[in-house]
Amino acid sequence: MKTWTITIFMICLTLAFCASPEKKMQEQQEKDPRYQYNMGLFYLNNGKPEEAIKYFQKSLSLDKKYYLSFNGMGIAYLMLRELEKSAQYFERSLELNPTLTDAHNYLGTVYQELGHLEKAEQEFRTAIADLNYKSRDLPYYNLARLYFGQNRFADALYYVQKSLEFNARLVMAINLKGVIYERLEDYEAAIESYKQGLKIAEEDVDLKFNLGVAYFKNTQFDEAKAMFAKIYGLADLNMKRQIDAYMKIINKQ
Protein backbone atom coordinates (compact mmCIF):
# COMPACT_ATOMS: atom_id res chain seq x y z
CA MET A 1 0.00 0.00 0.00
CA LYS A 2 2.88 2.33 0.85
CA THR A 3 4.48 1.74 -2.56
CA TRP A 4 1.18 2.51 -4.33
CA THR A 5 0.84 5.79 -2.38
CA ILE A 6 4.36 6.84 -3.32
CA THR A 7 3.72 6.03 -6.98
CA ILE A 8 0.58 8.19 -7.07
CA PHE A 9 2.44 10.99 -5.34
CA MET A 10 5.24 10.85 -7.91
CA ILE A 11 2.74 11.01 -10.80
CA CYS A 12 1.16 14.09 -9.25
CA LEU A 13 4.54 15.72 -8.95
CA THR A 14 5.30 14.97 -12.60
CA LEU A 15 2.01 16.48 -13.75
CA ALA A 16 2.60 19.56 -11.67
CA PHE A 17 6.07 19.91 -13.12
CA CYS A 18 4.74 19.63 -16.70
CA ALA A 19 1.86 22.00 -16.12
CA SER A 20 4.07 24.77 -14.83
CA PRO A 21 6.03 25.54 -18.06
CA GLU A 22 2.83 25.14 -20.10
CA LYS A 23 1.08 27.75 -17.97
CA LYS A 24 4.12 29.97 -18.22
CA MET A 25 4.04 29.69 -22.00
CA GLN A 26 0.35 30.62 -22.09
CA GLU A 27 1.06 33.66 -19.96
CA GLN A 28 3.85 34.69 -22.32
CA GLN A 29 1.57 34.27 -25.33
CA GLU A 30 -1.09 36.43 -23.70
CA LYS A 31 1.48 39.21 -23.43
CA ASP A 32 3.05 38.70 -26.87
CA PRO A 33 1.67 41.04 -29.60
CA ARG A 34 3.20 38.92 -32.34
CA TYR A 35 1.50 35.77 -31.09
CA GLN A 36 -1.85 37.60 -30.98
CA TYR A 37 -1.20 38.90 -34.51
CA ASN A 38 -0.45 35.38 -35.76
CA MET A 39 -3.70 34.14 -34.25
CA GLY A 40 -5.49 36.91 -36.10
CA LEU A 41 -3.86 35.79 -39.34
CA PHE A 42 -5.01 32.24 -38.66
CA TYR A 43 -8.62 33.36 -38.51
CA LEU A 44 -8.23 35.62 -41.55
CA ASN A 45 -6.92 32.68 -43.57
CA ASN A 46 -9.94 30.66 -42.43
CA GLY A 47 -12.39 33.31 -43.59
CA LYS A 48 -13.34 34.56 -40.11
CA PRO A 49 -12.52 38.29 -40.09
CA GLU A 50 -14.66 39.08 -37.02
CA GLU A 51 -12.67 36.60 -34.95
CA ALA A 52 -9.41 37.87 -36.43
CA ILE A 53 -10.22 41.42 -35.35
CA LYS A 54 -10.37 40.32 -31.70
CA TYR A 55 -6.79 39.08 -31.83
CA PHE A 56 -5.48 42.08 -33.79
CA GLN A 57 -7.09 44.36 -31.17
CA LYS A 58 -5.46 42.31 -28.41
CA SER A 59 -2.12 42.65 -30.21
CA LEU A 60 -2.52 46.43 -30.43
CA SER A 61 -3.52 46.67 -26.77
CA LEU A 62 -0.11 45.16 -26.03
CA ASP A 63 1.81 47.28 -28.54
CA LYS A 64 0.10 50.37 -29.96
CA LYS A 65 2.69 50.60 -32.75
CA TYR A 66 2.48 47.02 -33.98
CA TYR A 67 1.99 47.97 -37.63
CA LEU A 68 1.36 44.41 -38.83
CA SER A 69 -1.78 44.26 -36.70
CA PHE A 70 -3.01 47.54 -38.18
CA ASN A 71 -2.48 45.95 -41.59
CA GLY A 72 -4.36 42.85 -40.46
CA MET A 73 -7.24 45.00 -39.25
CA GLY A 74 -7.33 46.66 -42.66
CA ILE A 75 -7.60 43.29 -44.38
CA ALA A 76 -10.32 42.11 -41.98
CA TYR A 77 -12.46 45.20 -42.55
CA LEU A 78 -11.88 44.92 -46.30
CA MET A 79 -13.25 41.37 -46.12
CA LEU A 80 -16.24 42.76 -44.21
CA ARG A 81 -16.67 45.49 -46.87
CA GLU A 82 -16.27 48.24 -44.26
CA LEU A 83 -14.07 50.23 -46.60
CA GLU A 84 -13.65 53.49 -44.68
CA LYS A 85 -12.45 51.61 -41.60
CA SER A 86 -10.23 49.43 -43.76
CA ALA A 87 -8.55 52.48 -45.31
CA GLN A 88 -7.93 54.04 -41.89
CA TYR A 89 -6.15 50.93 -40.61
CA PHE A 90 -3.99 50.58 -43.73
CA GLU A 91 -3.09 54.27 -43.54
CA ARG A 92 -2.10 53.91 -39.89
CA SER A 93 -0.01 50.85 -40.71
CA LEU A 94 1.85 52.83 -43.37
CA GLU A 95 2.37 55.77 -41.03
CA LEU A 96 4.25 53.38 -38.77
CA ASN A 97 6.04 51.55 -41.60
CA PRO A 98 5.91 53.21 -45.06
CA THR A 99 7.85 50.26 -46.55
CA LEU A 100 5.08 47.71 -45.90
CA THR A 101 4.33 47.04 -49.56
CA ASP A 102 1.38 44.73 -48.94
CA ALA A 103 -0.40 47.60 -47.20
CA HIS A 104 0.19 49.88 -50.21
CA ASN A 105 -1.37 47.31 -52.52
CA TYR A 106 -4.35 46.70 -50.23
CA LEU A 107 -4.86 50.41 -49.62
CA GLY A 108 -4.89 50.99 -53.38
CA THR A 109 -7.64 48.37 -53.68
CA VAL A 110 -9.71 50.12 -50.99
CA TYR A 111 -9.18 53.53 -52.57
CA GLN A 112 -10.31 52.14 -55.92
CA GLU A 113 -13.47 50.72 -54.33
CA LEU A 114 -14.12 54.11 -52.73
CA GLY A 115 -13.64 55.89 -56.06
CA HIS A 116 -10.36 57.61 -55.11
CA LEU A 117 -8.71 56.56 -58.35
CA GLU A 118 -5.68 58.84 -58.31
CA LYS A 119 -4.80 57.72 -54.80
CA ALA A 120 -5.34 54.09 -55.83
CA GLU A 121 -3.00 54.47 -58.80
CA GLN A 122 -0.33 56.00 -56.59
CA GLU A 123 -0.53 53.12 -54.10
CA PHE A 124 -0.33 50.47 -56.82
CA ARG A 125 2.67 52.18 -58.40
CA THR A 126 4.38 52.40 -55.02
CA ALA A 127 3.92 48.64 -54.61
CA ILE A 128 5.21 47.96 -58.13
CA ALA A 129 8.29 50.10 -57.47
CA ASP A 130 9.41 47.79 -54.65
CA LEU A 131 11.68 45.42 -56.56
CA ASN A 132 11.90 43.13 -53.54
CA TYR A 133 8.14 42.66 -53.33
CA LYS A 134 7.46 39.02 -54.11
CA SER A 135 3.82 39.57 -55.08
CA ARG A 136 4.27 42.26 -57.70
CA ASP A 137 1.81 40.41 -59.94
CA LEU A 138 -0.98 41.75 -57.70
CA PRO A 139 -0.40 45.52 -57.99
CA TYR A 140 0.22 45.07 -61.72
CA TYR A 141 -3.14 43.28 -61.96
CA ASN A 142 -4.85 45.91 -59.83
CA LEU A 143 -3.44 48.71 -61.96
CA ALA A 144 -4.68 46.92 -65.09
CA ARG A 145 -8.12 46.61 -63.51
CA LEU A 146 -8.11 50.32 -62.63
CA TYR A 147 -7.22 51.33 -66.21
CA PHE A 148 -9.82 48.94 -67.62
CA GLY A 149 -12.45 50.72 -65.54
CA GLN A 150 -11.33 53.98 -67.14
CA ASN A 151 -11.62 52.49 -70.67
CA ARG A 152 -7.84 52.76 -71.09
CA PHE A 153 -7.69 49.35 -72.71
CA ALA A 154 -4.18 49.56 -74.16
CA ASP A 155 -2.76 50.49 -70.74
CA ALA A 156 -4.85 47.81 -69.08
CA LEU A 157 -3.55 45.17 -71.49
CA TYR A 158 0.05 46.23 -70.91
CA TYR A 159 -0.22 45.95 -67.13
CA VAL A 160 -2.17 42.70 -67.11
CA GLN A 161 0.55 41.19 -69.28
CA LYS A 162 3.15 42.48 -66.81
CA SER A 163 1.16 40.78 -64.04
CA LEU A 164 1.28 37.49 -65.93
CA GLU A 165 5.03 37.82 -66.45
CA PHE A 166 5.36 37.56 -62.67
CA ASN A 167 2.70 34.89 -62.22
CA ALA A 168 1.57 33.05 -65.34
CA ARG A 169 -1.03 31.12 -63.32
CA LEU A 170 -2.89 34.12 -61.92
CA VAL A 171 -6.33 33.15 -63.20
CA MET A 172 -8.01 36.48 -62.48
CA ALA A 173 -5.36 38.22 -64.61
CA ILE A 174 -5.86 35.71 -67.42
CA ASN A 175 -9.60 36.33 -67.23
CA LEU A 176 -9.12 40.11 -67.26
CA LYS A 177 -6.84 39.77 -70.27
CA GLY A 178 -9.64 38.00 -72.13
CA VAL A 179 -12.14 40.68 -71.15
CA ILE A 180 -9.79 43.40 -72.38
CA TYR A 181 -9.39 41.64 -75.73
CA GLU A 182 -13.17 41.46 -75.98
CA ARG A 183 -13.45 45.20 -75.50
CA LEU A 184 -10.81 45.62 -78.19
CA GLU A 185 -12.97 43.34 -80.38
CA ASP A 186 -10.16 40.83 -80.74
CA TYR A 187 -12.38 37.85 -80.05
CA GLU A 188 -9.89 35.21 -81.18
CA ALA A 189 -7.36 36.49 -78.62
CA ALA A 190 -10.09 36.61 -75.95
CA ILE A 191 -11.06 33.00 -76.67
CA GLU A 192 -7.45 31.87 -76.38
CA SER A 193 -7.05 33.71 -73.10
CA TYR A 194 -10.13 32.11 -71.54
CA LYS A 195 -9.01 28.69 -72.76
CA GLN A 196 -5.64 29.27 -71.13
CA GLY A 197 -7.36 30.12 -67.87
CA LEU A 198 -9.47 26.96 -68.00
CA LYS A 199 -6.34 24.85 -68.29
CA ILE A 200 -5.51 26.09 -64.79
CA ALA A 201 -9.00 26.41 -63.31
CA GLU A 202 -11.03 23.76 -65.13
CA GLU A 203 -14.22 24.29 -63.13
CA ASP A 204 -14.30 28.10 -63.14
CA VAL A 205 -17.87 28.98 -64.16
CA ASP A 206 -17.10 32.65 -64.83
CA LEU A 207 -14.31 31.72 -67.23
CA LYS A 208 -16.59 29.29 -69.03
CA PHE A 209 -19.33 31.90 -69.28
CA ASN A 210 -16.90 34.47 -70.65
CA LEU A 211 -15.64 31.91 -73.15
CA GLY A 212 -19.21 31.25 -74.27
CA VAL A 213 -19.79 34.99 -74.72
CA ALA A 214 -16.55 35.34 -76.71
CA TYR A 215 -17.65 32.45 -78.95
CA PHE A 216 -20.98 34.21 -79.44
CA LYS A 217 -19.33 37.51 -80.36
CA ASN A 218 -17.05 35.67 -82.77
CA THR A 219 -20.16 34.11 -84.39
CA GLN A 220 -19.13 30.63 -83.26
CA PHE A 221 -22.69 29.91 -82.21
CA ASP A 222 -22.40 26.12 -81.89
CA GLU A 223 -19.45 26.45 -79.54
CA ALA A 224 -21.24 29.17 -77.55
CA LYS A 225 -24.37 27.06 -77.24
CA ALA A 226 -22.41 24.03 -76.05
CA MET A 227 -20.53 26.09 -73.45
CA PHE A 228 -23.69 27.70 -72.11
CA ALA A 229 -25.34 24.28 -71.82
CA LYS A 230 -22.41 23.02 -69.72
CA ILE A 231 -22.66 25.74 -67.12
CA TYR A 232 -26.38 26.54 -67.01
CA GLY A 233 -27.06 24.31 -64.03
CA LEU A 234 -24.15 25.89 -62.12
CA ALA A 235 -24.94 29.51 -62.98
CA ASP A 236 -26.50 32.01 -60.59
CA LEU A 237 -29.77 33.73 -61.47
CA ASN A 238 -28.14 36.73 -63.15
CA MET A 239 -25.89 34.55 -65.29
CA LYS A 240 -28.82 32.33 -66.27
CA ARG A 241 -30.73 35.39 -67.47
CA GLN A 242 -27.79 36.41 -69.62
CA ILE A 243 -27.43 32.89 -71.02
CA ASP A 244 -31.15 32.84 -71.82
CA ALA A 245 -30.77 36.10 -73.76
CA TYR A 246 -27.80 34.77 -75.75
CA MET A 247 -29.56 31.46 -76.42
CA LYS A 248 -32.65 33.29 -77.69
CA ILE A 249 -30.51 35.04 -80.29
CA ILE A 250 -28.59 31.85 -81.17
CA ASN A 251 -31.80 29.90 -81.73
CA LYS A 252 -32.93 32.49 -84.24
CA GLN A 253 -29.84 32.02 -86.39
Residue 93 lies in a domain: yes
Mean pLDDT of the 214-236 span = 97
Q: What's the N-to-C CA distance of the chain in angstroms?
A: 97
**Identity at 1, one-letter amino acid code:** M
The domain tally of the chain equals 1
pLDDT computed for residue 3 by the predictor: 40
pLDDT computed for residue 24 by the predictor: 61
Residue 135 lies in a domain: no
Q: Is the pLDDT of residue 9 over 50?
A: no
Give the burial class of 21: count Cβ atoms within 10 A of its Cβ; 0-12 exposed, 13-18 middle, 19 or more buried: exposed
Question: What is the rounded average pLDDT for all residues in the chain?
Answer: 91
What domain range is 98 assigned to?
30-117
In angstroms, what CA-CA distances link 140 with 126, 165, 201? 11, 10, 21
DSSP string, 70-139: HHHHHHHHHHTT-HHHHHHHHHHHHHH-TT-HHHHHHHHHHHHHHT-HHHHHHHHHHHHH-TT-TTTHHH
pLDDT computed for residue 25 by the predictor: 62
Residue 89 lies in a domain: yes
Q: What is the biggest distance separating any 2 CA atoms in the chain, rounded to whole angstroms?
A: 98
Q: Among the listed ranges 5-19, 68-82, 178-192, 227-241, which one has the minimum average pLDDT value?
A: 5-19
Residue 85 lies in a domain: yes
pLDDT computed for residue 27 by the predictor: 59
Residue 253 lies in a domain: no
Residue 88 lies in a domain: yes
Identify whether the C-beta of residue 210 lies closer than 8 Å to the C-beta of residue 232: no
Residue 75 lies in a domain: yes
Q: Among the listed ranges 16-30, 87-101, 170-184, which one has the minimum average pLDDT value?
A: 16-30
pLDDT computed for residue 253 by the predictor: 81
pLDDT band (50, 70, 90) for residue 19: low
pLDDT computed for residue 10 by the predictor: 40
Give residue-wise pLDDT tens across range 31-44. Answer: 788 999 999 999 99
For position 99, which CATH number holds? Answer: 1.25.40.10
Residue 51 lies in a domain: yes
Helical residues (DSSP H) of the chain, grouped into ranges: 2-30, 33-45, 49-62, 67-79, 83-96, 101-114, 117-129, 137-149, 153-166, 171-183, 187-200, 205-217, 221-231, 237-250
